[in-house]
């Protein structure tokens, strides 16, 4: 699915049948006037924990809320409840990902064939070994990709999904074009900003003195990007998140509310990925949620940025050296920060909320 795949779906396990994911809010009622819209069922694995707002939870909740706001009611279900849950609804759309398939048998596959199912996928199995060889530090090295992926792929083919999609960008077409060649209806459906969590919320007394800030996990693959883009500005940069960042101003973990306030208050939020993300043109939530808080952002070389933001909406560096030039211009007061704050915020509000993704998915599924 993505570079930060371990944050989005836990490693495949064979849990006890009685073990369930922690779903504390399963229902997302439709916005007034959409109560009779098509329902969306979102399948999750045992590792899903709605009480811990990490990336996997936030994106799932974002898609659920987006669908409820734009299309109809949504419900989060355990993958093992697919049969009984699908029978409760008329003409549901079912949201799955490739990681669900190993634990499904013939009955589930037949059920999926009956309904409109869209599935998030990763680099095609034909290309996975090649991709992994090029990116030895990538996060795909779990058991799923060493035998499990092929089995899941075969089941996916049998289920005849209405749509398969990726969070990646068009510059990653080489890694994904085999899905189209297999005859699937394939498209790119990005992550987005969830306006419940990310909106302007300035806290100048707490974070206003910070010139640069980054929130996220630290691990070897992503560290390649961090060292290229962020390390030169370590004196100005404050980092937060898991992984015990080996940076001078590491502030530990912060809550979602604090993250929103930080984005809304710090001088600049760099949008930095790593080599795997750049190869996949992967637009993780950070590219949307920071400008949703009206942050001033400078993006890295990720080719996916220009899929979603024009040159007038977000500053983007061509490479690490160009990034240094842009950051130094910012530090010297040579950039109209307010202009870029407004441009990025407007772009997200108009095109990059989860309700926009819901409408895109509904259109793609129904026009299969």
Q: Based on the fold, state whether residues 294 and 221 are members of the same structural domain.
A: yes
pLDDT in tens, 226-260: 999 999 999 999 999 998 999 999 999 999 999 99
Pairing relation of β-strands 116-120 and 93-97?
A: parallel
Residue 9 above 50 pLDDT?
no
Q: What is the pLDDT of residues 168-178, one digit of tens each?
A: 999 999 999 99
How many CA atoms are closer than 13 Å to the CA of 90, on its beta-carbon side?
3
* pLDDT at 13 > cutoff 60: no
Residue indicated by tokens 């734009």 = 70
Asked whether residue 252 falls in the same domain as residue 145, the answer is no
- Tally the domains of the chain: 2
- Asked if residue 197 belongs to a domain, the reply is no
Same domain for 138 and 111: yes
CATH of the domain at 268: 3.40.50.2000
Pairing of strands 269-271, 237-240: unpaired
Same domain for 211 and 140: no
Tell me the C-alpha distance between 335 and 343, whole Å.
13
Same domain for 21 and 163, yes or no, is yes
| Residue 61 token pair | 């909740």
Q: How many CB atoms lie within 10 A of CB 316?
A: 20
252 and 307 in a single domain? The answer is yes
149 and 244 share a domain?
no
Measured between alpha carbons, how far is residue 259 from residues 15, 27, 314, 368 in Å? 33, 26, 20, 39
Q: Are residues 179 and 285 in the same domain?
A: no
Per-residue pLDDT band for 145 (boundaries 50, 70, 90) equals low
3-state secondary structure of 125: helix
- The residue segments making up the domain with residue 60 are 5-192+353-366
What pLDDT digit, counting tens, does each position of 286-319 carry? Answer: 999 999 999 999 999 999 999 999 999 999 999 9
User: What average pLDDT does the chain have?
Assistant: 92
Mind listing the pLDDT tens digit for each residue in 14-56?
444 468 999 999 999 999 999 999 999 999 999 899 999 888 8
Which pLDDT score is estimated for 18?
60
> Looking at residue 145, which CATH number applies to its domain?
3.40.50
How far apart CA 215 and CA 126 sit, in angstroms, is: 34
* Residues 27, 62 within the same domain: yes
Exposure of 287 in the CB half-sphere (CA atoms within 13 A): 31
Sheet with 93-97, strands from edge to edge, namely 27-28, 74-78, 40-44, 93-97, 116-120, 163-166, 186-188
């Amino acid at each position: 699915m993505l570079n930060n795949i371990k944050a989005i779906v836990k490693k495949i396990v064979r849990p006890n049948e009685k073990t369930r994911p922690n779903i504390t809010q399963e229902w997302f009622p439709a916005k007034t006037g959409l109560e009779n819209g098509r329902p969306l069922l979102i399948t999750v694995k045992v590792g899903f924990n709605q009480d811990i707002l990490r990336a996997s939870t936030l994106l799932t909740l974002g898609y659920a809320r987006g669908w409820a706001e734009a299309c109809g009611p949504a419900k989060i279900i355990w993958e093992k409840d697919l049969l009984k849950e699908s029978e409760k609804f008329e003409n549901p759309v079912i949201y799955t990902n490739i990681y669900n398939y190993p634990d499904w048998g013939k009955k589930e596959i037949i059920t999926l064939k009956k309904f409109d199912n869209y599935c998030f996928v990763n680099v095609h199995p034909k290309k996975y070994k090649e991709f992994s060889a090029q990116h030895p530090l990538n996060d795909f090295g779990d058991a799923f990709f060493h035998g499990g992926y092929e089995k899941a792929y075969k089941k996916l083919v049998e289920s005849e999904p209405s749509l398969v999609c990726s969070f990646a960008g068009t510059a990653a077409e080489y890694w994904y074009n085999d899905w189209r060649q297999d005859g699937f209806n394939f498209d790119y459906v990005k992550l987005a900003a969830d306006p419940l969590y990310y909106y302007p919320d300035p806290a100048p007394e707490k974070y206003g003195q910070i010139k640069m800030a980054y929130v996220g996990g630290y691990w070897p693959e992503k560290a390649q990007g961090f060292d290229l883009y962020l390390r030169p500005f370590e004196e100005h940069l404050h980092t937060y998140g898991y992984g015990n960042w080996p940076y001078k101003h590491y502030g530990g973990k912060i809550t979602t509310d604090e993250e929103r306030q930080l984005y809304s208050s710090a001088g600049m939020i760099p949008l930095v990925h790593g080599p795997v993300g750049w190869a996949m043109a992967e637009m993780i939530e950070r590219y949307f949620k920071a400008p949703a808080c009206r942050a001033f952002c400078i993006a890295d070389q990720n080719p996916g940025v220009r899929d979603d933001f024009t040159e007038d909406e977000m500053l983007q560096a061509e490479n690490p050296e160009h990034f240094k030039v842009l950051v130094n211009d910012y530090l010297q007061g040579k950039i109209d920060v307010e202009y870029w704050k407004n441009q990025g915020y407007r772009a997200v509000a108009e095109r990059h909320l989860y309700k926009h993704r819901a409408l895109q998915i509904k259109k793609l599924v129904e026009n299969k």
